[in-house]
Amino acid sequence: MTRTFDVAVVGATGSVGEALLQLLEEREFPVATLHLLASGESAGTSLSFRGKSRRVGALESFDFASARLVFFAAAESVTRAHVGAARAAGCAVIDLTAALPSQQAPRLVADANPEQLSALSSPYCVTSPSAPSVAVATVLAVLRPYIEVQRATITACMAVSSRGRKGVTELARQTTELLNARALEPRLFDRQIAFNLLAQVDTPDASGHGVLEKRLAGELKEVLAAPQLRVSATCVQVPVFYGDSISLSLQCRDAVDLERVCAALRTASTLEYVEADDYPTVVGDAVGQDVPYVGRVRGGQDDLAELNLWIASDNVRKGAASNAVQLGELLIKHYL
């Protein structure tokens, strides 16, 4: 008989929470009781799981002793406020908000560094990295046997859904206002996002690096176990509803064998390779999929050790929910 586990999803009503539910169902995750949790107004609403309507409970009054495995998918501040109680109750934790330092909750990408899971000790606590990190790490893990990457220069063009449902609503609202030639007062974003690109997605530090840009660099080094890897990261908000588009330029130690690289990408089960007569996009390709789409694979114009790629990846599903559920499966397999 299959063992089942009581699972809690914190932030169940958000877009990532919704994708988590969908994936727990699709992948037949061994759920005994599912606790859907949210704070504030969202508690008390209902969501569907396995064909049944389930009430969303109030996070504030939840007793974590009723759960064996907890996904934290609300805001980072919500994780900070409640992760202690979850760990004290002996729950295994999968944090999608990077609220805990690596020492307490290592960054894990199931399709890149699953072996790192073996270093965990109880209470089991892991972090599912940011969406662009998951996409890039998944691709680089496939290429690892063929190239030694010394530097990764990344421009991540991020969908408005990286700001949750509010981002989606705001892009739609702004676009409608502009097409109807009405005056625009931006909300949520600090200026017009419709038909515009915003050069930063959060608040930069004194050196000018944004929070996500620093996460991207740190997470890639950790997940790829490559502390010496150099990472230049630029995160941009683009007028796209779902799906991150990532321009990735790699400098390798040696000349890149493009045929081997393409063959490796073509046969990898963890991504979808798009041949050179086509190219991947978020709309139509990556959105709704559990793997990143990779294309525009080309060497350098003047450097044999350069490799350029374009990645399109569903930021909500692949970048967040799918990796988190895979990590849940691994935790169960190894520890629970």
The DSSP line for 118-142 is: GG--SSPEEE---HHHHHHHHHHHH
Q: Residues in contact with a second copy, total (CB under 8 A)?
A: 57
- Reading the block at residue 234, the tokens are 């630029």
Least distance from C-beta 205 to a second copy, angstroms? Answer: 9
Q: Which is nearer to a second copy, 113 or 192 (CB)?
A: 192
| Site map (CB under 8 A) of a second copy, residues 71-110, x = contact | ----------------------------------------
Footprint on residues 217-236 left by a second copy (CB under 8 A): 217, 230-234, 236
Report if residue 150 touches a second copy, rule: CB under 8 A.
no
- Reading the block at residue 275, the tokens are 């041949």
- Reading the block at residue 257, the tokens are 């064998």
Half-sphere exposure of 253 (CA within 13 A, CB side): 8
Report if residue 136 touches a second copy, rule: CB under 8 A.
no
Report if residue 264 touches a second copy, rule: CB under 8 A.
no
Question: Are 328 and 336 contacting, i.e. CB atoms less than 8 angstroms apart?
Answer: no
Least distance from C-beta 113 to a second copy, angstroms? Answer: 20
Report if residue 301 touches a second copy, rule: CB under 8 A.
yes
**What does residue 217 show for φ and ψ, rounded to 5 degrees?**
-65, -50
Measured between its terminal Cα atoms, the distance across the chain in Å is: 15
Contacts of 47 (CB under 8 A, 6+ apart): 12, 13, 18, 21, 36, 53, 54, 56
Q: Which is nearer to a second copy, 98 or 297 (CB)?
A: 297
Least distance from C-beta 270 to a second copy, angstroms? Answer: 20
Least distance from C-beta 325 to a second copy, angstroms? Answer: 27
Could you give the CA distance from residue 328 to residue 115 in angstroms, rounded to a whole number?
14
Report if residue 295 touches a second copy, rule: CB under 8 A.
yes
Least distance from C-beta 198 to a second copy, angstroms? Answer: 6
Contacts of 93 (CB under 8 A, 6+ apart): 69, 70, 72, 83, 86, 87, 105, 123, 124, 125, 126
Report if residue 135 touches a second copy, rule: CB under 8 A.
no
Could you give the CA distance from residue 49 to residue 54 in angstroms, rounded to a whole number?
7
Among 22, 104, 196, 270, binds a second copy (CB under 8 A): 196
- CA 275, 277, 283, 285 torsion: positive or negative? negative
Report if residue 245 touches a second copy, rule: CB under 8 A.
yes
Stretch that binds a second copy, among 12-20, 29-37, 272-280, 322-330 (CB under 8 A): 272-280
Which residues contact a second copy by CB under 8 A?
151, 153, 155, 157, 171-172, 175-176, 179, 191-192, 195-200, 204, 207-209, 213-214, 217, 230-234, 236, 238-241, 245, 247, 249, 276, 279-284, 295-303, 306, 308, 310, 312
